[in-house]
Copies of this chain bind each other. A is one copy, B any other.
Amino acid sequence: MTSLIKRVIPTLDRILVRRAEAANVTKGGIVLTEKGVERMVEGTVVAVGPGSRNPQSGNYIPMGVKEGDRVLLPKYGGTRVDMEDQKEYVLYREADILAKLE
* A21 contacts the other chain (CB 8 A): no
With A14-B99, A99-B91 already in contact, the answer to whether A72 and B8 are too (CB < 8 A) is yes
Residue contact A53 to B61, C-beta cutoff 8 Å? yes
* Interface size counted on chain A using CB atoms at 8 A: 50
Find chain B residues with CB under 8 A from A72 CB: 8, 81
Residue contact A102 to B30, C-beta cutoff 8 Å? no
Give bound CA distance, A62 to B51, whole Å. 15
Chain A residues engaging chain B, CB cutoff 8 angstroms:
4, 6-12, 14, 16, 25, 28-31, 34, 39-40, 47, 49-51, 53-58, 61-62, 64-65, 72, 74, 79-85, 91, 94-95, 97-102
